[in-house]
Chains A and B, each alone.
Chain A
Amino acid sequence: MSKRSLTIALFSFWTFAAFGAPSTEDPELAQAKVEISEGKLDQAIARLESAADTGEVHPDVAFSRGVAYLRRALSERAKPGDHGQATAGFRETLLLRPGDQEAALALEQTRLAVARKSATRGEQVQDTLGLGERALLWLDPWVLFWLSVGASALTTLGVVLVRVGPRSAKSAASLLAGICASVLLVSAPLTWLAATTAESLDLGIIIAERAPLLDEAGRARKGVAPLREATEVRILESRGPLLRLSFGEGTSFVRADQVRRLRLPR
């Protein structure tokens, strides 16, 4: 068995173990796939957007929507914002199912395509999310939680052995308790931070080719480059037709119709 096959097998096992039983075919998704393969991309997009409009939140629906937009972005009928919409679909999939490797690959490739397109125009895709926020979003709070629980259990065992164990085991027990306590001290705050970040962050993707940064009154800010398509942004609040974004150390506004908010179950 090659290393790749082993990885896939392990990943499949992990997916099965983590997310339960295998799924059955969904008629709407199947129909959307047929439409995509026939080139009826608008119909497929309408179908998948309709599902989103009904309030359905599902990683596979979001993924298929991303694929439909991506296909249209690469076709002759591309519309401005298709790359951004595709990015939003894949990003939503990853937020809903952090271990989805295919979505991670699709997201990366779509962003590369946007970056390539921007680079040919001499523009640069900015990143408005901080490194910390990005890292915390990447972490799975539940994995960290179980890591904390395990470290806590081992620390407790070490403590018990230090106090009541045989003299010969006390050194090893001290070492075990020390290492596990260190892990616990790191993983527990990270768990809390990752959970609160995932709960409180309101994320969106720019779906216009350029989204000019505006001031509170909706006037374009001079001397500030617009946000490029597919940029991930953190939304602080909605003010009528504008959204206030966290932008580096400050905040800025963009038009709400230029941002697709990522839908996450709260």
Chain B
Amino acid sequence: MRTGAAVALLAAASVLTTFVGHPVAHAAEVRAETAARRVAVGQTFTVEVTAILDDGDGSAQGPKLPIQGAAEVSGPSIFSQRRVVMRNFDVTTENNVVATYEITPTQPGRLVLGPGSFTVDGRRLEANTLTVEVVEGPAQAAPPGRTRRRDPFGFGHDPFGQDPFGQDPFGRQPTDPPSQSPFDLFRRRSGLSAYPDAPAELALPNAPNDIGFLVAKLDQPEAVIGEPVVLSIYAYGARGAFREVSPTEPALSDFLSYASVETSHEQPFYRTEIQGREFLVVKLRELVLVPLRAGQLEIGSMRAILRGRGYPSKNSPLGTLTESPPLRLPVREPPQTDRPPGYRLGDVGRFELAATVEPREVEQAGFFSVKLSLSGRGNVPGSIDMPEVPGVVWGEPTVRGEVSVEDRELVGSRTLEFTVRATTAGTIELGKISLPHFDPATERYRIATAALGSIHVTPRAGAPAPSQDPSPSTAQPGEPTLLLAIEPRTNKGAWRAARSAPPVWGLAAAVLAPGLVWLLLLVPTALGALGARLRSGRSKQRHLDFGPLIALEKEKGRAELARELEQIAYRLIEEKTGLRARAILKEHLAARMTQAGLLGQLASDLQALLIELDAARFHVAGSTEAEASLAERARPILLSLWKAPSARKDTP
């Protein structure tokens, strides 16, 4: 019995030792948490997807949170924390990577969140799926982001967590930025003085906004194509600590971009004073940009919401929306002077080149390898022009290596491995490889070179004898030989360097000249007509003087008098009525003149006078008395007509 009891005790101790004495293997896991179970439409709540990693685990990357249902999602914002955990009397450290999503439902119904996941060591680990019910109604205060705050010491419960009365002992609001250490809370409580002072370059003369704003800076005012420049974007906030939410990255379409700071979550906050007001400042982004073309290149604005307790919802329900002003960077080509042949725009930096060739002896039509190692600071090129060497054919290179940012500088290396075919037998001098590039530090061109040496190509049995023609340019079968017959030129012939358009004034003159000449030729005719008209106007009967008429009658006779009187009568009729009375039968004249507005009696008298004058012109009859009476008879009638008001209409 005693023996049996001893054996049982030993077995129990062994089991206890197994499960208690040795640490339990703890694999990486992913959890998803939210406090929200029932929210209103428009009410924002947070979901945290946490990757819990032990010391031996790799890094957690690529958080994902698929969502089924109508909702707007922002994030994730990612931060990591390191904790000391005691499990079964074994103290271990644990790294947590937390991805926080902010979700605002837009329609009532049900939201299915997840499974949230992270990629850990190449495997995608998934968390549990969460379900949140969305109801109609006014938005309420956002629920806490987490149901259970992780304690910083690994006791499994946060000693500073919610108190039994449901209040945060430090009065922290649910929307506060997540604390990265328990001391952050004390630091916030004690004001901004707990933060270190900002470096001098972050000091600003004035603040564009009293609450918060973004500032973008370049480390140099101008650049050449391919020269790296550093873009730093800082967030300034005057209402205490904040974190960036829903960032929109700046548009950089004219640049290659390499990030050295991708998020502000692990960046330190500094305190600075602007016009007597304290601000916290943190670096949001730091990018090394490589301009791709010349000109005034635009760097777009970055937008981010500053979220924190003191940051009001300004243009966004999540916090204060801020935007950095866009920048313009003047970019030019490297100088033309001393530019070496073969320089390619964009090769800017300081590079070194090394080359290895192996094997050095190959059979004709065999292959050998040329490996180029290119390294240095700057935008390390990914290709190199290989030399023209008769007797070898270069293949396309295999390129390895990359460029990264180190201490705000682009550094990197690339290896280009060429497979080369030797086509002719003999010793082939491979020459050297050159990489002309521009060093912005010295503002001069450099040429990185590497000698390739020579290879010996042994003839292959049955291979054709080496060609004496050094040219590797041979026409493909079937290609038209006409193309190969086109020879390059050696002379720069004259040409119209200024491809100027013909002068518009010349063209206009050519078009208008015939018309103008035509008009000029019409001028004499027009002037003649105008003169006649003027003369006609001038000859208007200003007064009737019968003295000369009587004299005329005596000198030239009755017929001449009649003609003159008739002309006076017709002129006055035309003047007063517009009628050309000569063209009207005398019998109808009175009626027409009456129609034209003359008094009926006057019209009748005129008709009778004109008939009489007509007769007098062609019939020599009567005595001198009678002749004298013609002028006397005409006088009152013509005077009446002369005095009569004008009845002339617009149309004759």
Contacts and interface: CB of A to CB of B under 8 A. Distances in A.
A19 B489 contact: no
Interface in B492-515: 492-499, 501-502, 504, 506-507, 509-511, 513-514
A97 B341 CA distance: 27
A207 to B, nearest CB: 15
Given A33-B490, A58-B495, A38 B521 contact: no
B152 to A, nearest CB: 45
A152 interface: yes
A168 B620 CA distance: 50
B506 A21 contact: no
Interface in A7-41: 15, 18-26, 29-30, 32-33, 36-41
Interface string B339-351: 1011101000000
Interface stretch (A61-69, A123-131, A221-229, A245-253): A61-69
A47 B342 CA distance: 7
Interface residues of B, number: 57
Contact of B486 (A23, A50, A102): A102
A188 B493 contact: no
Contact of A75 (B473, B493, B504, B509): B473
Contacts of A109: 480, 482-483, 486
Nearest to B514: A155
A204 B394 CA distance: 30
B1 interface: no
Interface stretch (B176-184, B384-392, B399-407, B595-603): B384-392
B472 interface: yes
A32 to B, nearest CB: 6
Nearest to B334: A53
Contacts of A198: 499, 501
A195 interface: yes
A171 interface: no
Interface residues of A, number: 86
A33 B488 contact: yes
Given A39-B471, A106-B486, A188-B510, A59 B493 contact: yes
A170 B60 CA distance: 99
Contacts of B473: 39, 41, 71-72, 74-77
A39 to B, nearest CB: 3
B536 interface: no
B575 interface: no
Given A39-B470, A155-B514, A53 B339 contact: yes
B484 interface: yes
A156 B517 contact: yes
A71 B394 CA distance: 17
Contacts of B555: none
A164 B523 CA distance: 12
A149 B336 contact: no
A265 to B, nearest CB: 5
A77 B396 CA distance: 10
B483 A26 contact: no
B472 A70 contact: no
A110 interface: yes
Contacts of A158: 514
A74 B485 CA distance: 12
B514 A239 contact: no
B443 interface: no
A83 to B, nearest CB: 10
Nearest to A112: B480
A18 B483 CA distance: 28
B518 interface: yes
A160 interface: yes
Contacts of A220: none
Contact of A191 (B333, B339, B507): B507
B393 A77 contact: yes
Contact of A188 (B254, B484, B496, B511): B511
A1 B509 CA distance: 43
B623 interface: no
A62 B500 CA distance: 20
Given A39-B470, A50-B342, A160-B521, A96 B495 contact: yes
A160 B517 contact: yes
Nearest to B297: A240
Interface in B48-63: none
| Most chain B CB inside 10 Å of its own CB: which residue of A50, A68, A196, A264 | A50
Given A42-B386, A74-B483, A265-B497, A58 B492 contact: yes
Nearest to B487: A67
Contacts of A55: 336
B225 to A, nearest CB: 11
Contacts of A112: 480
Contacts of A160: 517, 521
A266 to B, nearest CB: 8
Interface string A69-94: 01110111100000000000000000
B8 to A, nearest CB: 73
Interface string A232-249: 000000011100000000
Contact of A42 (B388, B483, B489, B496): B388
A22 B492 CA distance: 9
A74 B514 contact: no
12 contacts: A22-B493, A26-B492, A33-B489, A40-B388, A59-B493, A77-B472, A97-B496, A106-B486, A156-B514, A163-B518, A163-B522, A181-B514
Given A39-B390, A74-B484, 4 more contacts: A18-B496, A26-B492, A70-B486, A149-B506
Interface of A: 15, 18-26, 29-30, 32-33, 36-44, 46-47, 50, 53-55, 57-61, 63-64, 67-68, 70-72, 74-77, 96-97, 102, 105-106, 109-110, 112-113, 141-142, 144-145, 148-149, 151-153, 155-156, 158-160, 163-164, 177, 181, 184, 188, 191-192, 195-196, 198-199, 239-241, 264-266
